[in-house]
Amino acid sequence: MKSLTIATVNVNGIRAAAKVRHEDNQGILPWLKATPADVVLMQEVRADEKQTRAALEPVLDQWHLAQAPAAAKGRAGVAILSRLPLRDVQIGFGDGPGSEEFSDSGRYIEATVDAGDLPVRVASLYLPSGSAGTEKQDEKYRFLDSFGEYLQSRADRAEQGGLPELVVGGDWNICHRREDLKNWKTNRKKSGFLPDERAFMDSLLGTFPDEATQVADAEDAGRNGNPAGVAGDFFGAVDYKPGDLAAARLAAGAAEEPHYFDVMRRVLPDQAGPYSWWTYRGQAFDTDAGWRIDLQVATRGMLDRALTANNVWVDKAAAYDQRWSDHSPVLVEYAC
Confirm whether residue 304 is marked as ligand binding.
Answer: no
DSSP summary character for residue 22 = B
C-beta neighbour count of 307 within 10 angstroms: 15
Confirm whether residue 311 is marked as ligand binding.
Answer: no
Burial class of residue 321 (count of CB atoms within 10 Å of its CB; 0-12, 13-18, 19+): exposed
Confirm whether residue 171 is marked as ligand binding.
Answer: yes
Q: Which of 38, 138, 145, 171 is catalytic?
A: 171
Q: Which of 180, 240, 327, 334 is catalytic?
A: 327
* Closest C-alpha among 312, 323, 198, 322 to residue 265: 312
Confirm whether residue 44 is marked as ligand binding.
Answer: yes
**Residue 208 phi, psi (nearest 5):** -50, 140
Please provide the distance, in angstroms rounded to a whole number, between the alpha carbons at the two ends of the chain.
Answer: 7
CA 92 to chain centre: 15
* Closest C-alpha among 78, 89, 83, 87 to residue 60: 83
Active site residue 126: yes
The β-bridge relationship of strands 260-262 and 165-171 is unpaired
Q: Which of 108, 126, 150, 260 is catalytic?
A: 126
Q: What is the Cβ-side half-sphere exposure of residue 6, based on CA atoms within 13 angstroms?
A: 32
Confirm whether residue 173 is marked as ligand binding.
Answer: yes
Show binding-site residues for Mg(2+). Answer: 10, 44, 171, 173, 326-327
Residues tagged active-site: 126, 171, 327
Show binding-site residues. Answer: 10, 44, 171, 173, 326-327
